[in-house]
Every structure is written in C-alpha cells, then in structure tokens.
Amino acid sequence: MTDPAVPGRSRGPASDAGSPEVASVLIVGAGLLGASIGLGLRNLGVETWLRDASPTAEAVGEDIGAGLSERAWGARMAEPQLVVVASPPDVTVELVAAALTEFPHTVVTDVASVKGSILRGLEEAGADLSRYVGSHPMAGREKSGPVAARGELFTSMPWVLCSSEHTAPSTRRLVKGLAIELGATVTEMPAEEHDDTVALISHLPQVMSSLLASRLQDTPLHRLSLAGQGLRDTTRIAASDPGLWVQILTANAGAIVPALHGVREDLERLIETMEAPTAPGSRLDVAQLIAEGNAGQARIPGKHGGAPKAFAQLTVLVDDRPGTIAHLLTFIGEIGINLEDLRLDHSPGQPVGLAEVSVEPNRRDELVEALTTNGWKVVQ
C-alpha cells in the first residue's frame, strides 16, 4: 500500500536481497531515529504512521513529513505490516509487548541501542517472540528530537539484526528488508554479542569523552581559547543527551564494566609510570602505551570498510568567509582528484582556518602544485 500523499518512486534493493518490501509501518516514538525512519520510508512511498507519548513530538514529526500522527489517522489505519518501536530503552520492553498484543498479526522490531535486556524482558513477559526481532541502526547525531531527523541518516550505515531462537524467518526477512530499503548495511549477530560489541565501540567512547569534557568545567576560558581540534574531536560526543545515556549505560552495564576495568588498569599503569617519569623503564612504558593505542586505532576499518587505507594529507590556509570551503572543494573536484577526507580547524581570534585534506598518495604532489598555482596557500 502506498500513501497517496507521498509520490512513489523506485524502491530500494530489498527485493534484490530476497527480502519483502515494507508496505505499511507504525513508528512508536517520534524522536531522532523514529522520525528519520519515517522520513526515509515516506520518501520511498511507504504508508507510515506515528505514535508518541508526547503530542508535541508527534505533531512535529507529522509536520516534517515523517508520517501521519495518531490523531490524524484515527480509524484510517488498518493493522500495519510492521511496528518499529523507537523509544528510550527503559520503556522499550513495555511498548514492544503492547504492540505485539495490539496487533496480533504484525511484526515488531525495536531500534534501541541495547538488545539483551530487552529480549530477556520480553521472554519474562511471555510475549510472542516469533513476531519480534531486535535491531539497532548504528547511526545518530549529537542532536535529538524530530527536528534533527534526516531521511538519509541510515545510508551506508550498519544496521544490526539480533534474531533469537524464537524469531520466525518471515519476521527476520521483513525487518532486514526495512534496513536495506533505508540504505543500511545489515549485520546479524546474537543479542549478547551485540551488547558486548557496542559497549566497546560506542558506550565506552561516550563515557571517556564525557569524563574528559568534565575536566573542563572549571577551566578558565582564556585557557580553553588555546584548544585545538584534538580536544574538539575527543569531546564532540560529550554533548549527547544525559537522560538517554543514563538509560543506555544502565541497561548495558554488564558489558560496559569489564571495558571500564581494562581502562582503569591502563590508567593505573600510566599513573604509576608518570609518578616517576625518569625511572628506568618509564619512557619505554609510555612509548608502549602510545604504541598500543596506535595499533588499536589502525584496526578501525577505513572509509570503504575493511583494512584502513593510508592517505596523504596536506593543509590549506582558507579565509573564514562564506563560500571559501565550497570553492576549495569545487576546485579539487574540477581537477579530477577524489577527496578522501576533510578536517577543519580554526585559528582562535583569527579570520582564517586550516583545511586538512586527505587524498590518494600518488595525487598529493599534483594537488599541491595545482592549489599553489591557483593562489591557494598550502602550509603543509
């Protein structure tokens, strides 16, 4: 079924992957993820409805085009093919169980960032788990709420599917189809493995970023004015919603605590070394600790997945004026060089910035020459 208010267009590759197309969806929770799913589905011509405990969030979700609000659809909504629960973790079990009861023929998934505790809660509640599969789109923003939603949020991002022994094959196929239609790359793993994984790659980074940023609370502003991009990079996610992270960290505490113990051991080792920095072996120990960080960072997959690829960097001085960065990127594209990465840094109090450009190593000299010839100042 296609929502007549939304122009239909070519659907995603779900049918190519052997997964059924999603026809109608009720999204419970009109926050960032829920509204983004709604926008993506409506762009595909899928009939989409919204339900949220907050009338304001539901109305904003409708206003931005993420679906029809509950007050609008009324009796128009038949039983949906799929319910997506996009709610905070502390109410997800209750809402999934309620959806399975309200719609006895409907598949239900949730997109919470923890999976094991939700599955256990549904088992204890006696829910029909054949029609449920937990999932987790690994996408998000520091901003929250429907106003931050983007229909392209999931494009090329991982979407984890956590089937259990109770999940019916048709349930798994439908939810996999949802992720594929929204442009995501599906990965499947058990709920407990998922929770162990996100504890290390998502939840621990949030904790470390917040702990570092908390050290800045009483730092005089004239000192913070000296901060460079390194501090901004490592504290970026510290701007996340405290209320949501209380729920995430509480729900996944069993997986996060071992990772925190590992960090504590490394900190204690570093503290002991730094208390006697010139003692025999101290410098070697510091070097080993930094080298271990190098080795771990090098294992993070690169731009296109797989092993990370080394690119050549150069830094261009840019005026802090509207359109300057766009002009630089356009110029690089016009000379036929693919931009692999871009980082921006600003000089505090100065009307200039630094654009660190990453390109294929064999194109670096060519780009430096082209930029210099055309009036750009390459400083590295």
| CATH for 242 | 1.10.3660.10
What CA–CA distances, in Å, run from 313 to 232, 310, 343?
20, 10, 10
Burial class (CB in 10 A: 0-12, 13-18, 19+), 135: buried
d(CA 113, CA 111): 6
Domain that holds residue 263: 196-275
Regarding whether 205 and 170 lie in a shared domain, the answer is no
Split into its structural domains, the chain has a count of 3
Q: Is residue 305 part of a domain?
A: no
Place of tokens 């010139």: 278
Give the pLDDT of residue 310.
75
Provide the 3-class DSSP secondary structure of residue 127. coil
- Beta strands 312-319; 352-359: pairing state: antiparallel
The number of angstroms, rounded, from the C-alpha of 299 to the middle of its chain's C-alpha atoms is: 19
Same domain, 214 and 335: no
Helix (H, G, I), strand (E, B) or coil at 82: strand
Please report whether residue 8 resides in a domain: no
Q: In this structure, are 151 and 181 located in the same domain?
A: yes
Residue 210 and residue 185 in one domain: no
**Number of residues in the chain:** 380
Assess whether 201 and 70 both reside in one domain.
Answer: no
DSSP classification of residue 114: -
My answer on whether 172 and 247 are in the same domain is no
> Pick from 126, 158, 189: which residue ends a domain?
189
- Residue 8 is given by DSSP the state -
Residue that terminates a domain, selected from 129, 155, 189: 189
Instruction: List the one residue out of 109, 236, 252, 242 whose CA is nearest residue 172.
Output: 109
Rounded Cα distance, 69 and 30, in Å: 10
Give residue 301's pLDDT: 79
Answer yes or no: are the C-beta atoms of 134 and 175 closer than 8 Å.
Answer: no
Give Cβ neighbours of residue 326 (< 8 Å, ≥ 6 apart). Answer: none
Same domain flag for 101 and 247: no
> Are residues 117 and 141 part of one domain?
yes
- For residues 217 and 184, membership in a common domain is answered with no
Query: Both 184 and 206 in a single domain?
Result: no
Last residue of one domain, picked from the residues 249, 275, 301: 275
Same domain for 271 and 203: yes
Q: Is residue 83 part of a domain?
A: yes
pLDDT at 319: 85
Q: Cα(70)–Cα(90) distance, rounded to whole angstroms?
A: 22
Q: What is the pLDDT of residue 4?
A: 34
**Per the domain annotation, does 40 fall within a domain?**
yes
Tell me whether residue 288 is in a domain. Answer: no
Share in percent of the chain as helix, strand, coil (round to 5): 50, 15, 35
Identify whether 1 is part of a domain.
Answer: no
Residue 184 lies in a domain: yes
Would you say the pTM of this structure is higher than 0.85? no
Which pLDDT belongs to residue 189? 97
Same domain for 62 and 206, yes or no, is no
User: In this predicted structure, what is the pLDDT of residue 380?
Assistant: 67
Strand pairing class (341-346; 352-359):
antiparallel
SS3 71: helix
What is the DSSP pairing of strand 132-137 with strand 107-110? parallel
Q: How far is CA 97 from CA 54, 92, 124, in A?
A: 20, 8, 11
Residues 6+ apart with CB under 8 A from 74: none
Query: Would residue 341 count as lying in a domain?
Result: yes
Q: In this predicted structure, what is the pLDDT of residue 302?
A: 64
pLDDT tens for each residue of the chain, 380 residues long: 333 333 333 444 444 445 568 999 999 999 999 999 999 999 999 999 999 999 999 999 999 999 998 777 765 667 899 999 999 999 999 999 999 999 999 999 999 999 999 999 999 999 999 999 999 999 876 667 788 889 999 998 999 999 999 999 999 999 999 999 999 999 999 999 999 999 999 999 999 999 999 999 999 999 998 888 889 889 989 988 898 899 999 999 999 999 999 999 999 999 999 999 999 999 999 999 999 999 998 888 765 555 566 788 888 888 878 888 888 989 999 999 998 888 887 655 567 788 888 888 899 999 899 999 998 988 86
**Contact in structure between 98 and 128 (CB atoms under 8 Å):** no
**Spatial CB neighbours of 273, under 8 Å, sequence gap ≥ 6:** 282, 285, 286, 289
